[in-house]
Amino acid sequence: MGILVVDDNDVSRITTKWFLSNFGFVVESVRDAEVGLEAFDPALHGLVITDNSMPGMSGAEMAQAIKAISPATPILMYSGNPPEDCPYLDWVIRRPAHLLEVKDTADRLLAKNRVLQP
């Protein structure tokens, strides 16, 4: 299962994709939540990592839409401005945080999701 990274900040998106790819993750990345929602495929993406503050649809709004399609898909928000309370997020990491924290959390969420799948 791959990871979908959604972030409008080019440096952050490219760095996150590169970092996770170095640990063997298959990572697809897109620039905004609308494109992220269109690109999301529960057969391909075992985890979504998203920023919150983006032009147009926010990461929290995208998370809600993804959970309506695929409730079991974990969503990790990696953002400097996460919402106070969002029941559609499985984990929140506030920036700045080291990408190793993102990697370790991705490992845990993907492993948990594999256990839940039949």
Q: Which residues of the chain are modeled with pLDDT < 70?
A: 114-118
pLDDT for res 91: 96
Q: How much is the pLDDT for 81?
A: 92
Q: Can you give the residue range of the structural domain that contains 49? A: 2-116
The enclosing domain of 102 has a CATH number of 3.40.50.2300
Q: Return the pLDDT at 118.
A: 44
pLDDT value of residue 117: 47
What six digits make up the tokens of 16? 């996150």
Cα distances from 89 to residues 15, 24, 25, 38, 109, in angstroms, run: 22, 24, 21, 19, 11
Structure pTM?
A: 0.94
- Based on the structure, what is the number of domains in the chain? 1
